[in-house]
Structure 1
Amino acid sequence: MKLTIIDYLFIYSLVSIWMLLFVNIILALSGYVYYTKCANLKVNFIGKDNLPTVSILVPAHNEERVIGKTVKALLSLNYPKEKMELIVINDNSSDGTKDLLENIKKQYENYNFKIINTDNIIGGKGKSNALNIGFKHSKGEYIAVYDADNTPLKTALLYLINTIEKDKSLGAVIGKFRTRNKDRNVLTRFINIETLSFQWMAQAGRWQLLNLCTIPGTNFVVRRSIIEELGGWDTKAIAEDTEISFRIYKMGYKIKFMPLSVTFEQEPETLRVWFKQRTRWAKGNVYVLSKYIGGLFKVRVKNLLFDIFYFFTVYFLFLSSVVISDVIFILSLFTNIKVQVAGNFFVLWLLAYVLFVLEVSLTLTMEKGESNIRNLALVPVMYFTYCQLWMLVALKSIFLYIKDTILKKETKWYKTERF
C-alpha cells in the first residue's frame, strides 16, 4: 500500500497531538505530587523585624469598577505597613478611577500609598509601560505586582516574600490566582476549570520536574536588582509576564511556584471579552517565542529550552495538527478521500479524550470544593466546546502577529473589560 500526502499529514497530526498529551499528563502527575507536598508544608515565617521592604505595583486603566476592592485588600495584607508601599499607576484613565483612588487614600492616610496619574503622552501604552513608570517611583527591595481586579488573601504577600528570602537562587516567586466570579455563568465555570488545570497544575508540574515556572502577571514578587539589571519590562511585549520570565532565566535565576499564596481575580463574563483577552495572551506568547527561538541553539539554560519547545509545540505543532485532523475528517465525510494507514484510529482518539477528562478531573480533586458534580459534568463537555475555542484564538493571534510584523504595525494593548 502506497501512502499518500493525506496519510503522512494524518500521521503527523496524530504524533503531535499524542506528544503534547503525553507531556501534559506527565506535568499533571508531577503537579499532583507537588501540591501534595505543599498541602503538608509547615512554613516557618521570617520574623517581622527581618522582613524586607516591598513595593506593590498595580497598573490601572479605567478600573473604577474593581480598583477600590483591590486597593483595600492590598492595604489589609498581613505585612508590616512600615515596610510596604502601594503604588497604583492610574494609567491615562478616562473614568472615575482617579477620584475613587483619591477618596481611598484619604481613608488610609497613615499608609504608604502612592497614586501616579499619567496622561496620553507618557501613559496609555500598556501594562509594561505602566509598570516601568511605577518602578521608577518605588523604593522596595522587592517588587510585587497585582492586577487591578485582584483581592489577595491576607497572607499572600507573606508567603511570597518568605519563599524568596530563604533561597538566593530564586529571582522571582509566583503565587496562584483563582477565579473570583466562577459562579456567574457557564463561561466563568469553564475558565475556573481551565485556570486550575491547564495553568496551575501545569505550573506545579513544571516546578516539580524542572524547577521551572512562568510569571503569570499577577501575585508575584521579583528582586529589585533584577528589574534594574534588565532595564524594566519590555514595552513591545503584550505578554510581559512570559517575556520577563525568559530573561530572568537567562540571567541564571529560578522562578518558584508557591501555591499557598492565593489571590482572587475577576475573569471575563462574555465570549467577546474572553476572546479579546485570550487573543492578546496568545499573540503575546507568539511574540516571545519568535523573539527567542532564533537563538535556540545558543541558549544554555535547559529550563528556557523546555519553555521554548513547549510554546512551539502548543502554538505550531499542536495547532496545525488539530487543524489538519479536522480538515481530513471533514473531507472524509464529503469526498472520496480516505486515510489508508492501517489501525483503529477511533480507539486512539477515544483514548486521548478519556485521558483528557481524567487529567482535568484529577486536577479538581486538589482544590477544596472544586471536585463537585457540576464541575465533573462540565469537563467532558469542555473538550468539545471551550477547548475548541482556543484553537480559534491561537489561529487569530498568529494571523495578527504576522500581519503586524509585515505591516510594521505597533501592537496595541487591549485592557480586559470589567464587570
Structure 2
Amino acid sequence: MVNGLFYSCLFLIWGMLLYHMFLMLGSVFHYLQGKKLIKKWKKVKLRSLPTVSVLVPAHNEEVVIEDTIKAMLKLRYPKDKLEIIIINDNSSDGTGAIADRYARRYPFLKVLHTRPPHAGKGKSGALNQGYNMSSGEIVVVYDADNTPEPDAVTYLVMGLVNDQKAGAMVGKFRVINAHQSLLTRFINIETITFQWLAQAGRWFWFKLSTIPGTNFAIRRSILEELGGWDEKALSEDTELSIRVYNLGYHIRFFPAAITWEQEPETWRVWWKQRTRWARGNQYVIAKYIFSFMKLKRKRVFLDLFYFLFTYFLFLFSVLVSDVIFVMNFAFDFNLAIGPVSLALLVLAFLLYVTEVLVALSIERGQLTVKNALIVMLMYFTYSQVWIALVVYSLYLETKRVLLKQESKWYKTERYKKAS
C-alpha cells in the first residue's frame, strides 16, 4: 500500500512537470509569433482611438507613488483620450498630498480620496470606487509601485482594438529591484518563468490566460456587465478572469506591454504577500469548482483544474512522497525505491531546471551562468519554502471559512525605488 501511494505521488508530480514542459513549448511558439503579430497590428490604422482610464489604487504608498505618477505622465497615448485616476485609499501618509500636487499641474490626472467606512479594506474596493469615477471605454490597472514603459498602454489598447474577441489584454511585468538580494533574484526568475510558462503557454495551446494584479486592460462594457470587482476576493485578478471567460470572451497575453514593479526584499514581506495570493486562489477554487456545471464556458475548467492541481493535488503529492521517503529510514516500509525511482527524482530536478532556463532564454540578458546556478539553488530552497507557505495559507483559509471570518487585506510594504 505504501509503495502504491509513493509511486502514485511520483506519477502526479511527473504529470505536473510534463504539463509545464508542454506549456513551455507553447511559450516558445508564442514568443516567435509575437514579433510578427506586433508588426501586423501596427499596420492597422486606427480611425478613432478609444478613451482610456488608468486606475492606480494606492494605500499608504508615499515611498513609491511619485515615481509611479511620473511614469504615468510619460505614457505615449493621446492626452485628450486619457485619464489617470490615483485612488488614494484612506492613506494616513503623504500619498494623497503627492498625488494632489501633480493633479493641479496635469488636467488628465485626477485623484480620488476614499473615506471610511468604504475605504482601506482592500484593492477590489478601491478599484470599484475608481471605476465608478472613470469614464474611459477601456480601463487599465496598475499597482502603485509600477513604472510602465511609455508604450505599455498603447500596446494594451492595440491588442483590444485588433482582437474584438478579447475581453482583456494582459501585459508583462518585470522586477525593477531584481539585483537587490538573493530573494529578489529568486522572484525575478519566478516571474519570468510564470509569465512565459503559465501565461504564454496556456494562451498558445488553450487560448487561456489569467488577469494579473497589474498591467492589464479590460473593456468597460465587460466591467459594467460583471458589476466590477469581487470585494471578498483576496486574489481579485484570478476571480475576475473566471467571470470574463464565462461571458464568452478570452483574455490575451500580450508581452509587448511592459511594466516594471517592485518585489519584496525581505522574507517576512514575501511570506505575507504570497500567503495572500495563495489564499486568494484557494478562495477562487472553492467559489467555482463546485458550481462548475453552472459555468457557460466549460473551457474555464482547465484553469480551475490547474489551480486545483497546483494548490492541492501537486502539494499533496510532494508532501506525502517526502514524508514516506524520510519515514522509511526510521520505519521499514519495504519501500521499493530502486534505480528507476531514484532516476525519476533526478530527472524531475533536471526537467525543472530545463523549463526555467528555457523561460530565461526568451528574456534578453537573463540566461546567464549566475542565474543558472540560482535556478538550481531555488529548487532546494525557494520552491520548498513555497510548499510550506501553501500549507499555511490553506490552514488560514480553511479556518476563515469554518469560523466565518472576514478576509483581511495585506498591503505589501514598499521600498524606495532603484532607477
Same fold at TM > 0.5: yes
- Partner of residue 367, structure 1: 363
CA gap of 1:255–1:79, structure 2 versus 1, over 3 A, is same
1:117 and 1:232 map into 2 onto residues whose CA distance is 19
Match of 1:54 among 52, 55, 60: 52
Amino acid at match of 2:230: D
- Aligned match for 1:253, one of 249, 255, 265: 249
Which residue of structure 1 lines up, in the alignment, with residue 285 of structure 2?
A: 289
1: CA distance between counterparts of 2:6 and 2:103? 61
Report whether the alignment pairs 1:346 with 2:342: yes
1:16 counterpart = 2:5: no
Displacement after TM superposition at 1:333 (Å): 2.2
Shift of 1:48: 6.6
Q: What's the CA shift for 1:16?
A: 1.0
2:180 to 163, 178, 184: 184
Q: CA deviation at 1:256?
A: 0.4
Q: Where do 1:221-240 residues align within 5 Å?
A: 221-240=217-236
Greater mean deviation of Cα atoms: 338-347 or 198-207? 338-347
Distance, in Å, in 1 between the alignment partners of 2:73 and 2:48 is: 20
**After superposition, where does 1:209-358 map in structure 2 within 5 Å?**
209-340=205-336, 344-358=340-354
What's the Cα RMSD here?
1.4
**How big is the shift at 1:376?**
1.3
Shift of 1:166: 1.4
% identical equivalent positions:
49
Aligned with 2:99 (options 81, 98, 101): 101
CA distance, structure 2, for counterparts of residue 175 and residue 81 of structure 1: 21
- What is the CA deviation profile of residues 301-343 of structure 1, one whole-angstrom value per residue up to 9, with x for unaligned ones? 2430100110111111100011101111210222323413766
Alignment: residue pair count? 413
Whole-angstrom distance in 2 between the partners of 1:11 and 1:372: 35
For the Cα contact (< 8 Å) 1:55–1:138, is it kept in 2? Answer: yes
* CA displacement, residues 112-146 of structure 1 (integer Å, 9 cap, x when unaligned): 11111112312011000000000110000010000
Q: In the aligned structure 1, how far is the partner of 2:281 from the partner of 2:174?
A: 21
Label 1:342 to 1:245 Cα distance change in 2 as closer, same or farther (>3 A). Answer: same
Q: CA deviation at 1:100?
A: 1.2
Paired AA for residue 42 in structure 2 = N
Which residue type is aligned with residue 56 of structure 1? V
Q: How far is the alpha carbon of 1:73 from its aligned partner?
A: 0.6
- Please name the residue that 2:170 is paired with: 174
The one-character-per-residue Cα deviations of 1:265-297 (angstroms, maximum 9, x if unpaired) are 000000000010001000000000000000224
Tell me if structure 2 keeps the 8 A contact 1:48–1:80.
no
| More deviation, 290-299/222-231 | 290-299
- Corresponding residue number in structure 1 for 2:87: 89
Structure 2 CA distance, aligned partners of 1:298 and 1:338?
47
- 1:160 and 1:261 in contact (8 A); partners too: yes
CA contact (8 A) 1:45 1:162 kept: no
1:400 has 2:396 as partner: yes
How many Å separate the matches in 2 of 1:223 and 1:316? 33
Cα displacement string for residues 326-375 of structure 1 (whole angstroms, at most 9, x for unaligned residues): 11121022232341376621100101110111110111110011111211
- Kept in 2: contact 1:74–1:152 (CA 8 A): yes
In the TM superposition, what is the alpha-carbon distance from 1:392 to its structure 2 partner? 1.1
TM-score normalised by structure 1 residue count: 0.96
- Match of 2:135, SS state, is coil
Aligned partners of 2:171 and 2:216 also within 8 Å: yes
1:69 maps to a residue whose letter is: D
Q: Which residue identity does 1:32 align to in structure 2?
A: V
Q: 2:406 aligns to what?
A: 410
Return the match for 2:381 from 376, 381, 385: 385
Partner of 1:116: 112
Are 1:73 and 2:71 an aligned pair?
yes
| TM-score between the two structures when normalised by the length of structure 2 | 0.96
| 2:85–2:134 CA contact under 8 A, matched in 1 | yes
SS at match of 1:178: strand
What residue is the counterpart of 2:203 in the other structure?
A: 207
Cα distance in structure 1, aligned partners of 2:174 and 2:84: 22
Aligned mates of 1:198, 1:146 — CA distance in 2:
19
- Structural mapping, 1:143-162, within 5 Å: 143-162=139-158
Match of 1:142 among 138, 160, 168: 138
User: Which amino acid letter does the alignment assign opposite residue 23 of structure 1?
Assistant: Y
Using the alignment, how far apart are the partners of 2:374 and 2:43 within structure 1?
39
Query: d(CA) in 2 for partners of 1:414 and 1:246?
Result: 23
CA distance in 1, matches of 2:84, 2:381: 41
Cα deviation 1:123-176 (Å, max 9, x = unaligned) = 011000000000110000010000000001101011110111112211000000
**Contact persistence 2:24–2:196 (CA under 8 A):** no
| Stretches (4+) displaced over 4 A | 45-49
Matched, 1:36 2:32: yes
